Amino acid sequence: MNLIKKLAGLLWIAIGLYAGYILIVTQAIEKFKSPKPEDLIPAIIYAFVLTPIIVGGLVTFGIYALQNQYDTTEE
């Protein structure tokens, strides 16, 4: 079980990076390009608030899993 938890860390890192790609490419950039001024706020929030939290959080979580940091939480 510990090995699965450890290796799954790679998956969380990959998901974090993919989520970052989706947020930046399909949401933030699209909205930055939009001529509507009200699209600027979501674009800024996607790029500078959500992406760091989601990507940074999942990648850090994945790194912790790879370092066996969650062994102590095992049942």
Q: What is the largest CA-CA distance in the chain?
A: 53
- Distance between CA 55 and CA 57 in Å, rounded? 5
Q: Single out the residue of 10, 21, 40, 52 in contact with other proteins (rule: CB under 8 A).
A: 40
Q: Single out the residue of 17, 29, 32, 42 in contact with other proteins (rule: CB under 8 A).
A: 42
If one asks whether residue 3 binds other proteins (CB under 8 A), the answer comes out as no
Region label for 68, one of left (φ > 0), alpha (ψ between -120 and 50) or beta (otherwise): left
Tokens of 63: 């790194």
Q: How far is the CB of 5 from other proteins (least distance, A)?
A: 5
Which amino acid type is present at position 36? K
Q: What is the contact surface with other proteins in residues (CB under 8 A)?
A: 4-5, 8, 12, 15, 26-27, 36-42, 45, 49-50, 53-54, 57-58, 60-61, 64-65, 69-70, 73-75
